[in-house]
Structure 1
């Protein structure tokens, strides 16, 4: 009989002593305890120490293509409006009227100003209060004091990132050398040709860890990715790759966007040394980016509780590629194949979640092929628990 190891969530959940085995060198380390993927308290701590402190991707800037374009989204329980101003700058605001707190905008669309449906207070696209019907300024009330709460927003390589922490590093400083490393792809000049949504019944970390796990490919992707021979993988080295990201580079010939024998997009104008595989950075806290020889993709993970998350994937190509006569037909081949691969990963993450919720669940171990998962888990611990050790 199998002896059950009690892995009930401890009362002193954030005591560093519970995580000393995770901090060992990867060849003798344990994975995060199962409660890190199932605990409501742990998840709430992640929201405060990770998602509200670091940069989070909300997709491609084509979601707000013109001045006045906007979309609304809730991220970690905070309702947001993302809008492009008349000055073409992308901004993010808390979607809550500064009068009585009402949600102001829903869905997506275009507007000349942001207007609250409750008392018709109106705000400029830059967040300034400009209209208060039947209520005039006085010594007790100045419109300038009641603008919308603004969340920091920056566009990097065509992708919108937000940060709830007003004292956080600027995006370029935060990313360190990553901007220079991916400059040859010229992703900021690309067009977004597809954005798709995928619900996942697992903790967000299971899917995030999977991004950096090379060990699962021969087994989870037996009939898809594994059919393309990978000669080697380079993994993140913090002494070489400086910035708030983890990466691996997968070496293979040609494109992995569709199966062999199917029509593919033209190769990008890249240096020879970057046309031998795909560069896969994971940008903390929630962006999985793939820089391939024929396109760039980004999947953002939106956490929705301890046992659920949602994925949004944007696909970007040069404008010249999007204008090719058979582009749409070829794109459909890429998307169909991508769906198959993603479904395989989703199934794997959901199986992990079900296993973690078992009373018999216990920490596992790492192999050389998933060493980067250990690095990722240490990054999580340093934010949630602190990096001072026991």
Structure 2
């Protein structure tokens, strides 16, 4: 039987939450649908390249690919955050790889050299070409902003700023000032699952008691989980944590937070693929990029709130946090890779959603809307 993933998804998204099911299998397994996601979602959205404090000094850089487009993000000579094409203007070699520090960007192929603002500074043995003018050559700029401490990049020249698109994020969690949190680790991983499976896994805490029974599952109760209606550009839910994970609670010295604010954990899913857990004591995040239907590239990072960073026991807090999060991530990897394997079955059929999976329902509806716009 031939399937039309776009039509199948639209049919599911048209149902009310009370009758909704999980997304059709073809939404995850179809290469044609992934191509639509790349062109209509990832090429048209603000994507997260990590935390702004990962690039501290002029010349610090990182690289990423957006829908097949190689991109450099760096601190320029004036300390401003800047993004530009990572493709040489001579013979089109990729310029930089990974992360690092440079005084200038030098092409590894023919040594054309660019300043940190993207202008061409040097081009060996070009003096005999009468059509060549160094001043006319520069790496194309790409939109890049610091939003709440996050490096946000887009290929879309007309997309509204993140501060406008996600204004309701600040209304929800502005009292925690996530821009003031400090990143203490940043890693890159690749898992054998579809990017949406991992995104959906983050969006619901229905799986916590079982999937995370060895770590954080016991600190959360299904009866206390709240999954409100989300917004047009993100969904969220929140959990009240007990003291079994002390770092999730406000620091004892913090007198600004009161009542349930001191133990509320927020889970924010900024579409399409920035997933943030924010607590009074720490944050951690995943930023996802599809790598085929069967793999996802993961930027995984986290850190501490100002109160815990100022604590003399900060290194101890960091070590405890990192150990916990790594274990949680290992559990999530097992769960999400099993879902991908299960989707290969001839008997794989999406089931009905729990009320605790409302964010997944809203995510599916958002994907359906985005894919429909040519």
> TM-score, length-normalised on structure 1?
0.87
Q: Which has the higher contact order (CA 8 A, sep 6+)?
A: 1
The whole-number CA distance in structure 2 between the counterparts of 1:137 and 1:278 is: 64
| 1:17 CA drift (Å) | 5.7
Superposed counterparts of 1:1-390, under 5 Å: 10=3, 12-14=4-6, 16=7, 19-136=10-127, 140-230=131-221, 232-238=224-230, 242=231, 244-254=233-243, 256=245, 270-272=256-258, 273-319=260-306, 321-386=308-373
The whole-number CA distance in structure 2 between the counterparts of 1:335 and 1:144 is: 48
Describe the SS at the equivalent of 1:234: coil
Change (3 A) 1:179 1:127: farther
The whole-number CA distance in structure 1 between the counterparts of 2:143 and 2:39 is: 16
| 1:124 CA drift (Å) | 1.5
| 1:154 CA drift (Å) | 0.9
Deviates more, 1:246-255 or 1:340-349: 246-255
| 1:221 CA drift (Å) | 1.9
| 1:265 CA drift (Å) | 5.9
CA contact (8 A) 1:255 1:277 kept: no
Provide, for residues 250-300 of structure 1, a one-character-per-residue CA deviation record: whole Å limited to 9, x for no partner: 12344746699xxx9657564325223111111112111112021122221
| 1:135 CA drift (Å) | 2.4
Describe the SS at the equivalent of 2:326: helix
Change (3 A) 1:274 1:143: farther
The whole-number CA distance in structure 2 between the counterparts of 1:167 and 1:97 is: 25
Change (3 A) 1:315 1:269: farther
The whole-number CA distance in structure 2 between the counterparts of 1:13 and 1:357 is: 16
The whole-number CA distance in structure 1 between the counterparts of 2:186 and 2:177 is: 19
RMSD of Structure 2 on Structure 1 (CA)? 2.6
The whole-number CA distance in structure 2 between the counterparts of 1:9 and 1:143 is: 54
Provide, for residues 129-181 of structure 1, a one-character-per-residue CA deviation record: whole Å limited to 9, x for no partner: 22222325988444343211222111122221111111111111121221343
CA contact (8 A) 1:268 1:295 kept: no
Describe the SS at the equivalent of 1:334: helix
Task: Specify every segment of 5 or more residues in structure 1 that has no aligned partner in the other structure, as ranges.
Answer: 1-7
The whole-number CA distance in structure 1 between the counterparts of 2:312 and 2:49 is: 30
The whole-number CA distance in structure 2 between the counterparts of 1:202 and 1:257 is: 32
CA contact (8 A) 1:187 1:316 kept: no
Decide which structure has greater helix share.
2
The whole-number CA distance in structure 2 between the counterparts of 1:356 and 1:384 is: 22
Change (3 A) 1:267 1:161: farther
